[in-house]
Amino acid sequence: MTPRARREALTGFLLILPWGLGFCAFTAGPMAISLVLSLTKWDILTAPHYVGLANFANLWHDPLFWMALRNTLAYTVLTVPLSLAGSLTLALLLNRRVPAVSVLRALFYLPELMPTVATAIIWTWLLNTHFGLLNYLLSRLGLPQVAWLESTTWALPSLVLMGLWTIGGNRMLIFLAGLQGIPEELHEAAALDGASRGRRLWHVTLPLLSPVIFFNFVLGVIASFQVFTPAYIVTNGGPADSTLVYVLYLYRNGFQYFQMGYAAAMAWVMLLLLLAFTWVQFRLMQRWVYYEGGATPG
């Protein structure tokens, strides 16, 4: 290594040092501690004691753990495809050279900037059984009113609906960037060959966009597994635990039921689940994700 290269490497390390320290102190460190805690019984107030894998064994027999896992999976299965489709559709609509398109993009992006708590409270209004806008619209259509947040059937879908509020946000921006990276000449060539708009979308746009779809898909699943705020603020897990999502149950155990070790075990189970899921996705990716250069990373 030349002295110059060494110096550059050193500068590089120095520059990422603050981040590295922060990562060790606030992410890696706490993770290591939580791994240790997951093997203990700890009520926060008195010293933890080692219980081996008992927390993990108890999880297996805890009906609320399974309920929370099921709710979270249901939320994910509903949210991820709907929000991906929504964001992609919006991105396709906003990826045109029409006047004031940037104003439209900004408008659709706005919900992303709203604080989640404020949004959640607005949604409790919209979904109010007696005075909500949604039920008002239903009644105008002659449809029966729905007890959105008080019904065990509708509460979780209501949370999904709230999540769709941000389809114009970051995910849409990433799609938009992806769409703009698709070379114009491919579209032109397809058009010259007589391909309709639908065929161009299916055979040109979507294959070339597949790495972006994949990226949004993986991140979307991880994010929806971690859903917490709406379930905490709007329904507090109810009615009858129908919106008790994984992270909410973890939080209750850690901070309300004096079972921090149990909560730490839950956190690690979730990490393993997400790791497994992501690994499977990266394996399956080769079947449907197309990289223009022909090479697939990883």
Partner 1 sequence: MRSKWTSVLVMAALAGTMWTLGGGSPAQAQKVTTIRMVWQGEANELKLYQGLVSKFEQSHPDIRVNLETVVASSDPEYFQKVQVIAASGDYPDVIYGHYSWFPAALAKHFLLDIDPYLAKAGLAKSAYFPTAIQQFSDHGKLYALPRETSSIALYYNADMFKQAGLRTPNEYYAAGQWTWNTFLTVAKKLTRDSNGKSADQPGFNPNAIVQWGTVAPVNMPFGLFPVVYSFGGDVLDPTNTRCRLDRPAAVRGIAFLQDLLLKQHAGILPSQAQQTNLFANGKIGMMASGYWDIVVTGSAIKTFAWDVAPLPKGTIQSTRVATGAYAIPAKAPHPDQAWTLIRFLSQPDNTMELAHLGLIIPALRAAALSPEFLAPGKVPLHRKVFVDALAYGRLDPRTTHWAEMVDTLGSEMDLVWTGQKSPAAATGEACAKIDALLQH
Position 256 contacts partner 1 (CB under 8 A): yes
- Element (DSSP H or E) covering residue 194: none
Q: Total number of residues binding partner 1 (CB under 8 A)?
A: 27
Binding to partner 1, residues 166-205 (CB under 8 A): none
Alpha-helical regions (H) of the chain: 3-23, 29-37, 54-60, 63-94, 101-113, 116-126, 133-140, 155-164, 170-180, 184-192, 197-200, 206-225, 229-230, 246-251, 260-288
Binding to partner 1, residues 215-244 (CB under 8 A): 237-241
- Closer to partner 1 by CB, 92 or 147: give it: 147
**Judged by CB under 8 A, which of 1, 5, 14, 45 binds partner 1?**
45
Pull the structure tokens for residue 3: 């002295």
Shortest approach of partner 1 to residue 104 CB, angstroms?
A: 32
Shortest approach of partner 1 to residue 111 CB, angstroms?
A: 20
- Could you give the C-alpha distances from 295 to 95, 163, 290, 292, in angstroms and in order? 27, 35, 9, 8
- Element (DSSP H or E) covering residue 49: strand 49-50
Shortest approach of partner 1 to residue 129 CB, angstroms?
A: 6
Position 288 contacts partner 1 (CB under 8 A): no
Position 72 contacts partner 1 (CB under 8 A): no
Binding to partner 1, residues 111-170 (CB under 8 A): 124-125, 128-131, 144-145, 147, 149-152
Give every CB contact of residue 155 below 8 A, 6+ residues apart in sequence: 148, 149, 235, 238, 239, 242, 243
The site for partner 1 (CB under 8 A) is made up of: 43-46, 124-125, 128-131, 144-145, 147, 149-152, 237-241, 252, 255-258
